[in-house]
Amino acid sequence: MEITALQKKHIELFGNSNPLTVRSPGRINLIGEHTDYNDGFVFPAAIDKAIWFTASKNDKGLFRFFSMDYSQSFEMKANDLSISNVAWANYLLGVANQFKKKGYQLSGVDVVFGGDIPIGAGLSSSAAVETGFAMVLNNLFGFGEPNMEMVKMAQKAEHEYAGVMCGIMDQFAIVFGKKQQAIKLDCRTLDYEYANLNLTGYQIILVDTKVKHSLTSSAYNQRRQECETGVKILKNYNPDISALRDVEMALLREHKNEMEETVYRRCKYVIEENNRVTEAFEALHQGNIRWLGELMMETHTGLRNDFEVSCEELDVLFDFAKDFYGVIGSRMMGGGFGGCTVNIVAQSETERFASEITKHYKQTTGNKPSVYKVTIEDGTGVVD
């Protein structure tokens, strides 16, 4: 989205010709799926698709928002901040309420926002809105909250105003992202390290299934429960275990017969996936992008066979990509049952890949996927 379009709209609606401008990107997760709620590791990066904000104060004591994507206005008194019946506005109101809870005084704010993060593709457009608006308020009013605190506030806003009990990865990756860097995040301690993502000769391509199966939330809760069941059993043999993060594969195998086969496979996947994140970090430090690609392929196989959160459409894309000349890595990304695959493709083969996977997917499923090239960019920040 052209930033000039937002600025023009801001002048048109609110008359302020010099608003604060903030960019807040989407994110991908290279590897480390369903590890976050098991106190494990994830390996995300911020991307070049983003939500943009123009913002200025007003003296009317009102929050006045305009969504470019929905072509819709919203207004509420700054001292109200109750949950509204406009879904998109709640992401902003939830963030404002976090500042209010900290004792900050919020007066009137005018905001225009919009962007090019595809909705529903699993690129965290909602977290981009939350973190972006946190950055807007923090800078507009000079509150001085550190980035990590804004990440936590954005996460709480999603919990309380959108009713989604998300982990912290999305908001974290979006704020702390760096150009050409992936971040290994410890979901237990929030310690993090950067690794140089040198993609010379390769391109990250996302292929969106355009489906989201309805069993997502119930299956997600069930997987969490199965992981917790495994922990409960293994804790009897090592009281220091509080999450699958603490479990060695040898211990799991030793007590396999004491748990249902399904619980065993769920735990096996999570332990292996945590190890893969550590290996992926090492692969990038060695500049070995092919190793990262191999690990991604292993992740998809684990998510399909052991964790069972893939679906026919995702598998169609993965099975095509893994045998395609020039693809060195592919996997489903996100919670599962829809969304997109993330693929690492040789630069010379990107056009052929995009064309042929689109054709294959349409022939196989009857639906047309969306294909996006993405690059790794900086996280949320004020634009001069």
What CA–CA distances, in Å, run from 318 to 98, 305, 324, 374?
40, 13, 10, 18
Q: Where in the chain does DSSP place strands (E)? A: 20-29, 41-42, 44-58, 62-67, 72-77, 108-115, 181-186, 192-196, 202-212, 327-333, 338-346, 370-374, 381-382
Neighbouring-strand partners of residue 208: 340, 370
Distance from the Cα of residue 69 to its chain's centroid = 20
Rounded Cα gap, residues 172 and 296, in angstroms: 21
Structure tokens at 237: 């043999």
Catalytic residue among 36, 39, 110, 170: 170
Edge-first strand order for the sheet with 20-29 is 72-77, 62-67, 108-115, 44-58, 20-29, 381-382
State the first-to-last Cα distance of the chain, in angstroms, to the nearest integer: 17
Instruction: Verify whether residue 170 is a known catalytic residue.
Output: yes
What is the rounded CA–CA span in Å between residue 164 and residue 158? 6
C-beta of residue 238 within 8 angstroms of C-beta of residue 251: yes
The pair of three-digit structure tokens given for residue 111, joined into one six-digit string? 């905001």
Catalytic sites, residue numbers? 170
